[in-house]
Structure 1
């Protein structure tokens, strides 16, 4: 079993330099309640839009945002459309809205993967650079089976967690029927399984350029005869799956399987750093080594097949509670690695954006988008130095709506 430790203190001069470089000239969205318009005043560039609002389009709640920008420049905002309520179990579809103007306005809602009484979710989209097709991975389980029951091994055959892939060849207007790939990417002893949620990536550098990499997590059964039978949560682990042929065939990459309860790798994101390494960030599901819900991270130098070091606590993001987060490496040699998530420490509120100028070793908070309740998020490059943030928020709680904010980062000096 590999030892997974906590890293040392960050370098204060580097953090101060990064903060000074990145907090000048930020275009921030309004921070008050009731943000609903697609644009600011006439003639001004839009900053905030709302693609999903609870209670509309036949759904009780929308959750679990994921976003990509296609080769044609269309922004695709995926979510889970939950018919029965805000809970994670029940009749849940994967839905999509498209924007042709960078997230200012949105087309009609379409259903990409219908639950038909079961649960479809955890969207993890990526654009294949070779074909331009949109590739979408999602998960399935029976609509009456909770995560806790699945982790206890109580799901009937076929109703546990399964993995599917779909593609779109027309800029997200239509998607193929979900095709199951569970046998290629899920080990027989695993119980829970979740892709992302949030965008996956296509590698741009090195010998694996073009590879599609999807971050994921899983749970394993406690060992036979173990006293941990009722403590399945400590058996969470992370892994990656990848495709070298545009999403047709899939393989398992690295697998984090220490299951020691110190660090419980859960919902994950990935970014490709300028030097070609992959940076994985993960939610820690109440591991004993990171009280307060600190983030975990790891690196891969071989396209996600193995980890350069095991997951460790990322102390620079200790304001983030136990929740999924977004990660993005914008293009450009000096562009910072970005992370999005709530900043309320133990409370899901105050969606914020952090930046790292040292490949994820340290992070500095750049801005806070709002003081409202907030939860899951995803990030997308919009071009021209702009970044899009798709996230859950609302006055009465984070499941009220999913907003899209356009943020402009300053151009590097020198």
Structure 2
């Protein structure tokens, strides 16, 4: 492919850490998905009554119980806390001794859409006396305001967790950030800039300002009377996504090195691509051309025919235009196989955590390979006639899964695709 780095090193994922609505840790997350349970509820973090959309996917996250010190809790925004806790879990899961590694060969790639939105809003309310003063009182400013203002502090916190002194980056591409951050980490290992990467994404956007922003464009659901069934991807009655929070982090390393140390390998990241529609900040073309192109390139990089894909982990936000656009993209890129391959959206259960969701969905895809189970699309009772693929309604499905396509779509026109494969099936 002209302009692309040659694939010289195979990259695998050997550790997972997840914090999402409905459970703490990877096992609880997977148990919720395979049971088809929903973790969306009426917002409890603030009074949601003034807002059009009053439901969200909130994580029951206790930083002290997660091992964070009072100083860490005060210093770090909630999204950073998620990322650090997930990073620690991923490192422990990988079995990799980071203390024995050359720190200059270890890096971090973290994605987020709104970074420290929770802390920034909290501090603004303090400084402005809840918005009553145009001139804020600097005497009340937090000593950690810099940490909240600068998004790159988030990956720095993760880097400090494992003493990583190699490439450290923040990727903020809206709702594809969680895919793109992992894609960036893969590219760094392939090209030889790093040997091990901690990669993933984190967002904690359940705040009044974020809720108001999505209210303004009517992107979130107004189904407030039934929070558990409010997220309805591909269903004919869907009317917007459910805002959520969460995080997932991964340990990525070169395949030969992982094999030498006897590591458990969840999957190889065999293909990744991202495209932009250069069309509209929030609108999508109905034909799905840009997402289809990202899928095509990711498959080409994986050296896979579309028929080799066993499961598609959909973006499936539950907005009318996205679900139609995505369906069209699968038909364009996968051809007739689009009608045979199972597709599902876990946003039906854990909501849409903006920049974090791409990584949360990678975690679900890895676990689908690990356990041979395709998670369902909850709340899908009557599919939109324009969404006429196999969206695995309501109940999880047991089947062999060797290759997963996971995709993301974000405001600004970003479209990303990644292929995850069981490494031993690759020639």
Shared fold per TM-score greater than 0.5: no
Structure ranking higher in helix proportion: 2
Structure ranking higher in strand proportion: 1
Which structure has more relative contact order (CA 8 Å, sep 6+)? It is: 2
> TM class, shorter-chain normalised?
0.3 to 0.5
TM-score by length of 1: 0.32
